[in-house]
Amino acid sequence: MIWEVFRQEREGQPFQHGGSLDAPNLAFAEAYARELYGRRDESFALWIVPRESVDEVRDPYVADVFDRDYRRVDGYSLKVKLKEARERAARDVGAGHAPPLQGGS
């Protein structure tokens, strides 16, 4: 039975996939995971998951198969527009107009 092992390097960090191992049950999987992913203090905690419990979603359901790139913002040069908006807002404040709305940066 194949088990997927996720490692947390330090307390509070996200768990990341470390690798997989073969073990007949959870007790063995735990022992081998400690050995393979925890013996040298390289992990703070481990998640051990049966591979069959991992639901994999992949292409074509993840990738964009339809032509909907109009939904994407790649074409807009936000950087320039943001810069202009900030300059305008600074000018307006300097000229005694109302301050810009919060949260825009």
Partner 1 sequence: MNAQELLALADDELILGWRNSEWTGIAPFLEEDVAFSSIAQTEIGHARAWYDLAAKELGANADALAFDRDPDEYRCAPFVELRFVPDWAQTIARHWLYETADTIRIQALMQSEEPVVASLAEKIDREEAYHRMHADMWADRLREEPRFREAVEELWPYALGLLEPEQRDRLCEALGRAAVKAVERGEHTEELRPLWDEMTMVRRSIPGAAW
Contact between 73 and partner 1 (CB under 8 A)? no
Give yes or no for a contact between 15 and 44, defined as CB atoms under 8 angstroms apart.
no
Which residues 32-71 are close enough to bind partner 1 by CB under 8 A? 32, 34-36, 39
Distances in Å between the Cα of 82 and the Cα atoms of 8, 92, 100 are 37, 15, 13
DSSP code for 51: G
Decide: is 85 part of the binding site for partner 1 (CB under 8 A).
Answer: no
Q: How far is the CB of 38 from partner 1 (least distance, A)?
A: 10
Kindly tell me which residue out of 1, 9, 13, 22 binds partner 1, with binding defined by CB under 8 A: 22
If the CB atoms of residues 41 and 55 are measured against partner 1, the closer one turns out to be: 41
Q: Please give the Cα distance from 2 to 25 (Å, whole number).
A: 9
Give contact residues for partner 1 (rule: CB under 8 A): 21-25, 27-28, 31-32, 34-36, 39
